[in-house]
Structure 1
Amino acid sequence: MPKGKTIAVFDFDGTITTKDTLLYFILFTRGYWAFMMGFFLYSPLLIAFKLRLYPNWKVKQALFSYFFGGMNYKEFQRLGEIFADEVKKIECDSTVDKLKEHLKNGDKVYVISASIDDWVRPFCCSHLGVTATIGTKVEVDLDGKLTGRFLTKNCYGPEKVNRLLEIEPDRKNYFLYAYGDSRGDKEMLEFADRGIMIQ
């Protein structure tokens, strides 16, 4: 292993957790019937996405806008903090153990996720104690309300690498571990010195 610090980056959905948290967050905050109605209305987009006719980020943003557009951002943040206790129910123990081992060794640990940072950060920073989270950020208007759009690119695929390099640009001076479970983590796993696919 080369000299320098060690950094470990973890995907969130399906890696630290056992299920997708976007759907779980919507169900938790909006309730079953509103959840079902939203997915019924957007079923054509979801089918198009499954057939690879419509991009992932557009479907995600459309759903986010439907369920949360116009909400006061402080209320949205509050829901993200409350949701952290729910995430404990779906955490993947074996991955969390690896994450805690990195922290114990004094490594910097980042969670990089396509999910919205406002519900990833409360769980990962407060509960797990990671260095920082890097997720998709939401746009807020001048009245402090969610516009329903994303402020950053969807943190997926190559964007995960781009976002990591924004805060850790000196790539030659650290050894990088990466943990992921899906196609959205491919570039991050390949970029790492040691990429680990969670099964």
Structure 2
Amino acid sequence: MTNHDMVTAYSHSAIAFFDFDGTITTKDTLAELLKFKVGRVKYYIGLVFLSPVLVLYKLGLLSNHNAKEIMLGYFLKGEPAAEFNALCREFAETRLPALFRKGALSEIRRHLQNNTQVVIVTASPENWVQPWCQQFNLECIATKLKVRNGRMTGKIAGQNCAGEEKVKLILKRYNLSYYTKIYAYGDTPGDLPMLSLATDSYYKPFKERAY
């Protein structure tokens, strides 16, 4: 933990960890970002091409990490990183708002009003989640994508931020003994390790449609 993180922790008595896709949003934002990038027709043509990969993943014969890299490689490999990041910022500003659950945003606002430290913890790449978090002074732990010579490689830097990796990254950044209240919100079995860290955990808490 850095000195900045320690100072931040001491200024809060509570911290809240939110999963992003499916918890705050109604749809998987990686899929929506790719549709935004290449168009719906090319996206679905790509899914047909990648269907053997998706079948292997559904059968449990291919890990989430490897399946995700294959998909990222198909759609992003060789893309100039600066152009991709600009597109991600545009996506965060123009498309993400339509995907949010009203109840999730209300809960985040409530935490912020109560001086709770709010952290988004997601398997989605930081390229579009971080810009959204910055708008509302939220902290972000997300999957990182590799860049080589200024271009996207389609590879993940380190591990996909899912399951136990969420816990590992949370504990690396935050000393939870500083907090009297720890909240966690998630919507899939992969979020259960993160929820187990909390004094107050919520599974699939937001049911309403996006607005």
TM-score range, shorter chain: over 0.9
The DSSP-based 3-state class of the residue aligned with 1:13 is coil
CA distance in 2, matches of 1:73, 1:96: 30
Q: CA deviation at 1:184?
A: 1.6
Corresponding residue for residue 3 of structure 2? none
Corresponding residue for residue 172 of structure 1? 177
Which residue among 72, 96, 99 is the counterpart of 1:87?
96
CA distance in 2, matches of 1:103, 1:92: 17
The DSSP-based 3-state class of the residue aligned with 2:16 is strand
The DSSP-based 3-state class of the residue aligned with 1:137 is strand
Corresponding residue for residue 113 of structure 2? 104
Is 1:8 matched up with 2:6?
Answer: no
Q: CA deviation at 1:125?
A: 2.2
The DSSP-based 3-state class of the residue aligned with 1:112 is strand
Please tell me the residue identity of whatever aligns with 2:80.
Answer: N
Work out whether residues 111 and 130 of structure 1, in 8 Å CA contact, stay in contact via their aligned partners in 2. Answer: no
Please tell me the residue identity of whatever aligns with 1:48.
Answer: L
Please tell me the residue identity of whatever aligns with 1:134.
Answer: I
Compared CA separation, residues 121 and 178, structure 1 to 2 (3 A)? same
CA distance in 2, matches of 1:123, 1:66: 25
CA distance in 1, matches of 2:140, 2:177: 22
Q: 1:1-199 counterparts in 2 under 5 A?
A: 5-84=13-92, 85-126=94-135, 129-141=136-148, 143-168=149-174, 170-174=175-179, 175-199=181-205
Q: CA deviation at 1:130?
A: 3.8
Q: CA deviation at 1:111?
A: 0.2
The DSSP-based 3-state class of the residue aligned with 1:115 is strand
CA distance in 2, matches of 1:53, 1:133: 30
CA distance in 1, matches of 2:137, 2:54: 33
CA distance in 2, matches of 1:104, 1:82: 28
The DSSP-based 3-state class of the residue aligned with 1:14 is coil
CA distance in 1, matches of 2:54, 2:134: 32
Q: CA deviation at 1:152?
A: 2.2
Structure 2 unmatched ranges of 5 or more = 1-11, 206-211
CA distance in 2, matches of 1:114, 1:194: 22
The count of aligned residue pairs is 192
Q: CA deviation at 1:38?
A: 1.2
The DSSP-based 3-state class of the residue aligned with 1:33 is helix
Q: TM-score, normalised by structure 1?
A: 0.93
CA distance in 1, matches of 2:120, 2:190: 14
| Superimposed CA distance per residue, residues 127-149 of structure 1 (whole angstroms, 9 cap, x where no aligned partner) | xx1431110001111x2111111
Work out whether residues 110 and 130 of structure 1, in 8 Å CA contact, stay in contact via their aligned partners in 2. Answer: no
Deviates more, 1:26-35 or 1:107-116: 26-35
Work out whether residues 9 and 110 of structure 1, in 8 Å CA contact, stay in contact via their aligned partners in 2. Answer: yes
| Superimposed CA distance per residue, residues 80-125 of structure 1 (whole angstroms, 9 cap, x where no aligned partner) | 1101120100100001100111011111100000001101111222
